[in-house]
């Protein structure tokens, strides 16, 4: 169970660590502040996960919003068998896969354009970001999700299996195919650059 | 082309590191929470059942089911509590006529009328004798003081001023006798003796089981309350007092006209159905029982047969066609007491348990002097 550092800046109280379990209890009681405290730490990893699957910044932001909404609607049904992180990641992957199937693909360059105005090292950052999105473009949505969860966010095979509702063998197979596909992509990219 | 080796996790992490360079939008969690709160305000919280019941296709079915359940509940209550009063008036009247078939005999009615007149004269004489000493006895049941007996003698006989002698207002002024045990108590004892096969009337009186529908619908009974069995031992009692006593015991309201309210009567019977007792009363006193509805309650009004005949033209024609003398159906069915005296003493003991008629003659019969005009019918001895 992950802990969340909640700072009561407004109240002037000292920083204290509140567990997800305690926050869940308060959230079920209708505590709005507890909801924000519970969800805020997962904004960034969820956004990167959704961005990796959807390859579009605006869609990723909407997907994170939808993930949070679904989580709050299903708060009463969360039994605590999995961690809050796994629970939210599972929702996010489902949202992204649903959207990918139902929506027209959006140009991935939007994110790079938005990033250009904020990043100090514009050229290098833009190239890295574009490279990552291009690499993910050769994978399926499920492979993207598994790969990001494993190699970017550092989840174990078992955690990925729980998140994706797969068994461990399937996770390993999908990761192998994804890595092999990326190897092919890199080889082609190198060949194309000459 | 040589097969490409999969990338290592480190190489993939380097490639995908570009994802984390993307700026993360701010306050996504707060915005999501605000949206969720707005949604919650728009949608009123509803329970699972409310959601199911709000399905439009279910509404007509639910309305029908509720109506059917209401009908079942109402029928069930009526069946348990108000079964006797819901009988139609015509059916009740037919049942009442079936109870007193011999009262249609107009020849007997004429004879009864003559005897009643003679009895009225005797009562007048007795009242005059008592009037000299003090106020007379109450003519009928009721809280109002009874008029002097002399005034009663002057009163016209025809008008029927019904007085409800329902149990609460009754004050029995008959001579003290052994208290009659409550019918329900005796029925309970009977039921205890034969618990494996309690009769329908026992079940009804004790309210241990719901009243049988067959019993209520029995056209020969009409009112199931008339099946209650009563025991009477009255040497001399005014008809009004007797009606009050019956009402107090059985709950059957009896209404009497003033013309017969003070009629003295002797009744001895043991464990007889009320309808049989009422029928014999009619024979002994020359009265006809009529149904009188007061709201949902059924009352039984006793009218002198002569008085009732005035309102029933059909009965007049029947009276003209009836044979003369005392040879009516009822009288033909009876036996002279002389023949009765020839029977064994055991049989006489059994038969003389049920006697009804004039107090003096009943007293004489019980002392062994058989009046010449006494008749025996249906296990009763009637002496007028």
Above 80 in pLDDT, residue B317? no
Residue scoring higher pLDDT (B243 or B201) = B243
Q: Where are the domains of chain B?
A: 87-135+161-325
Residue carrying the six token digits 């036996």: B335
A152 to chain B, closest Cα gap in Å: 6
Residue scoring higher pLDDT (B180 or A18) = A18
Spell out the residues 6+ positions from residue B228 whose beta carbon is closer than 8 angstroms to its own. Answer: B183, B187, B201, B205, B249, B250, B252, B273, B274
Residue scoring higher pLDDT (B344 or A137) = A137
B296 to chain A, closest Cα gap in Å: 58
Contact A132/B37, CB-based, under 8 Å? no
For residue range A146-181, list pLDDT tens digits in order.
Answer: 999 998 888 999 999 988 889 999 999 999 999 999
Residue B140: pLDDT band (50, 70, 90) is very low
Residue B92: pLDDT band (50, 70, 90) is low
Contact A32/B5, CB-based, under 8 Å? no
Q: How confident is the prediction for chain B on average, in pLDDT? A: 65
Mutation for testing the A interface, residue in B9, B13, B29 having most A CBs under 10 Å: B29
Neighbour count for residue A184 (Cβ, 10 Å): 15
Residue range B364-376: average pLDDT?
Answer: 77
Residue range B217-223: average pLDDT?
Answer: 50
Q: Is residue A35 part of a domain?
A: yes
Residue B90: pLDDT band (50, 70, 90) is low
The CATH number assigned to the domain holding A81 equals 1.10.1740.10
Q: Which residue of A has its CA nearest to B6?
A: A180
User: ∠ CA(B114), CA(B115), CA(B117), 5° rounding?
Assistant: 65
Spell out the residues 6+ positions from residue B63 whose beta carbon is closer than 8 angstroms to its own. Answer: none
In the prediction, which pLDDT does A64 show? Answer: 94
For residue range A32-90, list pLDDT tens digits in order.
Answer: 889 999 999 999 999 999 999 998 888 899 999 999 999 998 888 888 888 888 899 99
Buried/exposed code over B145-158 (b: 16+ C-beta within 10 A; e: otherwise): ebebbeebeeeeee
Residue range B234-258: average pLDDT?
Answer: 86
Task: Please give the backbone phi and psi of residue B302, each rounded to the nearest 5 degrees, phi first.
Answer: -100, 120
In the prediction, which pLDDT does B352 show? Answer: 59
- Within 8 A of B22 by CB-CB distance, chain A residues are 47-48, 51, 57, 111, 115, 129
As a dihedral over the C-alpha atoms of residue B23, residue B24, residue B25, residue B29, rounded to 10 degrees, the angle is -170
- As for how many domains chain A has, the answer is 1
A13 to chain B, closest Cα gap in Å: 21
- Within 8 A of B30 by CB-CB distance, chain A residues are 36, 40
- Within 8 A of B11 by CB-CB distance, chain A residues are 186
User: ∠ CA(B263), CA(B166), CA(B233), 5° rounding?
Assistant: 50
Q: Is residue A192 part of a domain?
A: no
Mutation for testing the A interface, residue in B1, B17, B18, B42 having most A CBs under 10 Å: B18
Tell me the percentage of chain B whose pLDDT exceeds 70.
49
Choose among B237, B228, B254: nearest CA to B166.
Answer: B254
In the prediction, which pLDDT does B257 show? Answer: 79
Spell out the residues 6+ positions from residue B307 whose beta carbon is closer than 8 angstroms to its own. Answer: B157, B158, B160, B257, B259
Contact A35/B33, CB-based, under 8 Å? yes
Pairing of strands A3-6, B297-304: unpaired
Q: How far apart are CA B117 and CA B140, in angstroms?
A: 19
Residue range B37-48: average pLDDT?
Answer: 71
In the prediction, which pLDDT does B106 show? Answer: 52
Asked if A192 and A184 touch (Cβ cutoff 8 Å), the reply is no
Neighbour count for residue B286 (Cβ, 10 Å): 23
Contact A151/B9, CB-based, under 8 Å? yes
For residue range B255-305, list pLDDT tens digits in order.
Answer: 887 778 888 889 988 888 888 888 888 888 888 888 777 666 777 888 777
For helices A32-39 and B28-42, give the axis angle rounded to 10 degrees: 140
In the prediction, which pLDDT does A76 show? Answer: 84
Above 90 in pLDDT, residue A122? no
- Within 8 A of A131 by CB-CB distance, chain B residues are 15, 18
For residue range B148-203, list pLDDT tens digits in order.
Answer: 433 333 444 444 444 444 444 444 444 444 555 555 565 555 555 444 433 333 33
Return the H-helix or E-strand segment holding A3. strand A3-6
Residue range B330-347: average pLDDT?
Answer: 42
Above 70 in pLDDT, residue B377? yes
Residue scoring higher pLDDT (B335 or B47) = B47
In the prediction, which pLDDT does B168 show? Answer: 47
Contact B7/A57, CB-based, under 8 Å? no
In the prediction, which pLDDT does A106 show? Answer: 57
Question: What's the Cα-to-Cα distance from A71 to each of A35, A66, A89, A90, B326, rounded to whole Å?
Answer: 10, 8, 10, 10, 102
In the prediction, which pLDDT does A94 show? Answer: 92
Residue B350: pLDDT band (50, 70, 90) is very low
Q: Is residue A136 part of a domain?
A: no
In the prediction, which pLDDT does B107 show? Answer: 61
Choose among A7, A46, A1, A49: nearest CA to A24.
Answer: A1
In the prediction, which pLDDT does A40 show? Answer: 92
Above 70 in pLDDT, residue A91? yes
Q: Which of A65, A127, A180 sits opposite B28 (nearest CB)?
A: A65
Of the given ranges (B158-162, B240-244, B355-359), which has the lowest mean pLDDT? B158-162
What residue numbers bound the domain in which A54 lies? 1-6+15-106
In the prediction, which pLDDT does A173 show? Answer: 93
What are the tokens at A73? 């609607």
Tell me the percentage of chain B whose pLDDT exceeds 90.
1
In the prediction, which pLDDT does B362 show? Answer: 83
Question: What's the Cα-to-Cα distance from B169 to each of A166, B174, B236, B328, B368, rounded to whole Å?
Answer: 88, 15, 21, 38, 38
SS3 A155: coil
Mutation for testing the B interface, residue in A28, A75, A130, A179 having most B CBs under 10 Å: A179
In the prediction, which pLDDT does B286 show? Answer: 83
Q: How confident is the prediction for chain A on average, in pLDDT? A: 81
Q: Which residues pair with B300 in a beta bridge?
A: B254, B291
């Amino acid at each position: 169970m992950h802990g969340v550092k909640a700072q009561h800046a407004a109240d002037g109280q000292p920083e204290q660590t509140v567990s997800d379990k305690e926050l869940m209890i308060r959230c079920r009681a209708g505590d709005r502040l507890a909801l924000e405290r519970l969800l805020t730490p997962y904004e960034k990893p969820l956004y990167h996960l959704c961005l990796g699957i959807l390859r579009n910044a605006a869609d990723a932001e909407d997907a994170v919003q939808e993930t949070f909404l679904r989580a709050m609607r299903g708060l009463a049904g969360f039994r605590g068998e999995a961690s809050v992180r796994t629970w939210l990641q599972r929702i996010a992957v489902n949202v992204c896969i649903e959207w990918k199937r139902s929506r027209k693909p959006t140009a991935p360059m939007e994110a790079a354009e938005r990033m250009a105005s904020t990043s100090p090292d514009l050229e290098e950052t833009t190239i890295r970001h574009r490279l990552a999105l291009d690499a993910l473009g050769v994978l399926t949505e499920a492979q993207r999700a598994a790969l990001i969860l494993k190699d970017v966010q550092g989840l174990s095979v078992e955690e990925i299996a729980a998140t994706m509702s797969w068994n461990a063998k399937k996770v390993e197979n999908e990761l192998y195919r994804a890595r092999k596909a990326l190897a092919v992509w890199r080889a082609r990219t190198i060949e194309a650059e000459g | 082309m040589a097969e490409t080796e999969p990338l290592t996790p480190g190489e993939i992490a380097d490639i995908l590191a570009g994802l984390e360079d993307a700026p993360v939008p701010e306050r996504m969690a707060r915005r999501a929470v605000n949206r969720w709160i707005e949604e919650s305000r728009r949608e009123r919280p509803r329970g699972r059942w409310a959601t199911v019941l709000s399905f439009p296709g279910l509404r007509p079915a639910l309305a029908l089911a509720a109506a059917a359940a209401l009908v079942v509940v109402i029928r069930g209550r009526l069946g348990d509590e108000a079964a006797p009063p819901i009988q139609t008036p015509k059916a009740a009247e037919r049942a009442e006529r079936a109870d007193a078939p011999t009262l249609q005999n107009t020849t007997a009615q004429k004879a009864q009328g003559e005897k009643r007149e003679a009895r009225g004269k005797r009562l007048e004489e007795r009242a005059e004798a008592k009037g000299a000493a003090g106020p007379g006895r109450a003519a009928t049941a009721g809280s109002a003081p009874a008029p002097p007996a002399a005034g009663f003698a002057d009163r016209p006989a025809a008008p029927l001023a019904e007085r409800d002698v329902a149990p609460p207002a009754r004050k029995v002024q008959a001579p003290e006798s052994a208290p009659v045990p409550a019918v329900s108590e005796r029925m309970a004892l009977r039921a205890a003796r034969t618990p494996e096969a309690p009769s329908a009337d026992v079940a009804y009186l004790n309210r241990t089981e719901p009243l049988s529908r067959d019993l209520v619908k029995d056209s020969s009974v009409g009112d199931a309350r008339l099946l209650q069995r009563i025991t009477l031992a009255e040497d001399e009692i005014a008809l009004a007092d007797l009606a009050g006593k019956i009402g107090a015991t059985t709950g059957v309201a009896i209404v009497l006209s003033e013309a017969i309210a003070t009629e003295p009567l002797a009744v001895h019977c043991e464990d007889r159905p009320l309808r049989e007792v009422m029928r014999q009363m009619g024979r002994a006193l020359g009265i006809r029982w009529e149904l009188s509805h007061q709201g949902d309650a059924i009352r039984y009004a006793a009218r002198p047969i002569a008085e009732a005949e005035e309102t029933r033209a059909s009965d007049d024609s029947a009276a003209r066609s009836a044979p003369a003398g005392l040879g009516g159906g009822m009288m033909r069915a009876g036996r002279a007491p002389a023949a009765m005296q020839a029977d064994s003493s055991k049989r006489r003991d059994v038969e003389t348990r049920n006697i009804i008629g004039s107090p003096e003659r009943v007293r004489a019969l019980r002392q062994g002097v058989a009046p010449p005009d006494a008749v025996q019918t249906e296990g009763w001895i009637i002496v007028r």
